Structure 1
């Protein structure tokens, strides 16, 4: 029987993951992912620039207060997306397409339910949540205006991230790239239109965001509806299976921890900075956070390109290809992060001046940014390492490495250092590079052990 077009695509993508040179496959998958992640991070920066120049410093502060709530929504969404993509990749490698489809369908259904729940609860308890996350009387109004609209997009945003990750899991990074880049470009255009000509302020920035997310969802929907995916989803696949959902959550939990850690860090810092430096310090942190997000995005794109290779070949027991993909990803991640770190260290004042012309904000922010980013290139090692263990389904190492930088190291350091020798707010900024360095050391220890096990021909799936 002659294979149909979808079977042919499946065979071609499987052959690519299994047989092509690892560096070539990694480039094919990671370049689109890196571009889409970079553009996605760029529109967050542009969003902040438009708000900073159209609304002012307090507008940036409002975005900073809203940020941890958005990270909490993203945490749940990525847990489902990355978890289902990792599990589905391994099932494809093991030639079990039915179980792969159940992973994908379950993730979409769970994403819809989680989005509804988070959106409704967020609207009901919005003001106390904002106060909890450090909103001052000055910043509460702008943060509330922004999040009231953003929470509407929460109803469908989880499905966008599930769809993007699923596309990458089948080796189709271009569709995920077009989804994110198209949404990002639309966001930037609508940002300008709503904030400046229409004068909608921070509400305009929020509206631009949810409309662009809606575009990404529609783009992904037509991809699956037109059966371009190798996952041939049927109604039965969308029935949530508890066992499958548990597997998705277990594998994706590291991504949840990574994003919820961002939310937890923001919670701690917003409340500490409120006491040490007030609204200006919170705005400084908001800008630094956007810059750090952009700095780490290329490495996260590399990880998204690496994971289908690692997951597929791990399932097929081709361990040499697994190790090769890991090594190449670490080297490339260090190179990308090193270049961006150098630019930040050389031009911190110029970077801050993009967001606002406030002299106090620029002076305080430039000095803080330089200290925060001095060791940030080593975070690439931690990001790749956590993504590697996630791809091979090892929950505990992935969880530990994901939590190490922000939860195990950064938060304790940020709480302790300001109390030592009168460091105050500078102790908070110093916690960033120390956490980057310490987490990289822990990651190297875990990776050395795992690679030794894989070199022996064992699957390394020990706890």
Structure 2
């Protein structure tokens, strides 16, 4: 599994390179998404539909803390890619060492705090009524593994920044496959119910962490850090924080979105509406895997070439990534529009859910063909180290448009208006991102290209 060396990011044809980077990322995201999907199917059929809603309530809390690892990983990965592109491996090593220290210290503190405030957080995110007890059971056990989950998320982005997408793919697949196997053992064979589902999730990330240790200690990684690299450097910490805050803010807004949507739906339609959203949320994770894979594959290519001053390759990578992602998004759209009833039947046999979920799913995915530009545009600014525009563009969909829409429209027009808020936010955020991305290409990248070629 030789992978791609970091130098190849600046030499190979961009189209071929993007496929090499995006395909393993897509497979990894697919397997991870299938894990969430099948996990939901197992829980729904072996425990009950209330268990699906319970897990959906817990996800934003545990994912937010684990997302700290992703934020530190992506923020540091941008620095590592640009440092390797600029021929500065020492900065890359210090960045990785600082990522390890920051991830472990912050997530341990937050995991302890999260366990201490479980009785406040679980109902606050919609775990009310019959949902509370199974949600708290799941939440408590999953929180034990959150620091390890965060380290895995951080390490995966570092592996990809090195130009080793196949190893990153395996790192994503291990917890997914492990979770499904442990689900079968703990829930179906041993009958542990919600506790079994939670221990399966937690145990799967310990398996992933063991793989990460092997990778970084073997000869596969270029990042061989020593004790000196673990000392926090203010400049690196600030840069990781500025770029990582983009990812963290996005996940924070996603968590707030879950809070609002779960509570609004519980008020409008009770546990059934929360379950509908849980099913649709799983499909959002699963169906968009190829588009997200292209976005992940694009990040190290754009970052490395920007750091190396190869601006024509940066523009080429933007153009090709948007085209590939748009085509894949169109295929996802066609699939969802054609088979929503069949999709919902996989999750549940509950007659009320079967009646309500397909129509809601069509609305949620209605603007899928346009999201490629929004995702690639926001990713570009993060890849090249421009934290402020990356942050603003990342927050446009969920923060600036979606949350205000769901706070206003459902109160006026009911539950259907909440589902309609999804495509409206997609279209508006894509328009804003497109404006800033094209302006960046016209005013920043093209003049740099012209200056180099004169």
TM-score, normalized by the shorter chain, greater than 0.5: yes
* Inter-partner Cα distance in structure 2 for 1:296 and 1:126: 31
Conserved? CA contact 2:3–2:164, under 8 Å: no
Conserved? CA contact 2:97–2:229, under 8 Å: yes
Question: 1:231 aligned to 2:223?
Answer: yes
Q: How many residues matched?
A: 450
Unaligned runs of at least 5 residues, structure 1: 1-8
* C-alpha distance 217-47 of structure 1, shift in aligned 2 (>3 A): same
Q: Post-superposition shift, 1:380? A: 2.2
1:221 aligned partner = 213
2:255 aligned partner = 263
* Inter-partner Cα distance in structure 1 for 2:63 and 2:341: 27
SS at the partner of 1:233?
coil
Q: How does 1:154-193 map to 2 (within 5 A)?
A: 154-193=146-185
Q: Post-superposition shift, 1:458? A: 7.0
Q: Post-superposition shift, 1:12? A: 7.3
* Inter-partner Cα distance in structure 1 for 2:30 and 2:38: 12
Higher mean C-alpha displacement, 291-300 vs 264-273: 291-300
Question: 1:272 aligned to 2:264?
Answer: yes
* Inter-partner Cα distance in structure 2 for 1:10 and 1:362: 47
Q: Post-superposition shift, 1:311? A: 0.7
* Inter-partner Cα distance in structure 1 for 2:367 and 2:285: 15
Find the partner of 1:441 among 419, 431, 437: 431
* C-alpha distance 377-11 of structure 1, shift in aligned 2 (>3 A): closer
Query: Any idea what the Cα deviations from partners look like across 1:96-124, whole Å, max 9, x if unmatched?
Result: 11111111111111111122112111111
* Inter-partner Cα distance in structure 1 for 2:313 and 2:125: 44
Query: Any idea what the Cα deviations from partners look like across 1:406-443, whole Å, max 9, x if unmatched?
Result: 110001111111133xx211111110010011111111
Question: 1:27 aligned to 2:19?
Answer: yes
Conserved? CA contact 2:67–2:150, under 8 Å: no
Find the partner of 1:84 among 68, 76, 81: 76
* Inter-partner Cα distance in structure 2 for 1:15 and 1:151: 39
1:3 aligned partner = none
Q: How does 1:36-185 map to 2 (within 5 A)?
A: 36-185=28-177
Find the partner of 2:387 among 384, 395, 404: 395
Find the partner of 1:385 among 373, 377, 384: 377
1:207 aligned partner = 199
* Inter-partner Cα distance in structure 1 for 2:72 and 2:405: 31
Find the partner of 1:450 among 413, 417, 440: 440
* Inter-partner Cα distance in structure 2 for 1:88 and 1:398: 18
* Inter-partner Cα distance in structure 2 for 1:439 and 1:346: 26
SS at the partner of 2:201?
helix
Conserved? CA contact 1:299–1:384, under 8 Å: no
* C-alpha distance 438-459 of structure 1, shift in aligned 2 (>3 A): farther
Q: Post-superposition shift, 1:11? A: 13
Conserved? CA contact 1:296–1:380, under 8 Å: no
Instruction: Could you list the structure 1 runs, at least 4 aligned residues long, displaced by more than 6 angstroms after superposition.
Output: 9-12
Conserved? CA contact 1:89–1:311, under 8 Å: yes
Conserved? CA contact 1:385–1:443, under 8 Å: yes
* Inter-partner Cα distance in structure 1 for 2:405 and 2:358: 21
Unaligned runs of at least 5 residues, structure 2: none
Structure-2-length-normalised TM-score: 0.96
* Inter-partner Cα distance in structure 2 for 1:380 and 1:449: 17
Query: Any idea what the Cα deviations from partners look like across 1:260-307, whole Å, max 9, x if unmatched?
Result: 221111011111111101111011111111111112332222122111
Question: 1:344 aligned to 2:336?
Answer: yes
SS at the partner of 1:409?
helix
1:419 aligned partner = 411
Structure-1-length-normalised TM-score: 0.94
Conserved? CA contact 2:53–2:274, under 8 Å: yes
1:321 aligned partner = 313
* C-alpha distance 270-14 of structure 1, shift in aligned 2 (>3 A): closer
SS at the partner of 1:155?
helix
Q: Post-superposition shift, 1:10? A: 12
Q: CA RMSD in A?
A: 1.8
* Inter-partner Cα distance in structure 2 for 1:216 and 1:324: 34
* C-alpha distance 458-126 of structure 1, shift in aligned 2 (>3 A): farther
* Inter-partner Cα distance in structure 2 for 1:379 and 1:260: 20
Q: Post-superposition shift, 1:379? A: 2.0
Conserved? CA contact 2:336–2:365, under 8 Å: yes
* C-alpha distance 259-297 of structure 1, shift in aligned 2 (>3 A): farther
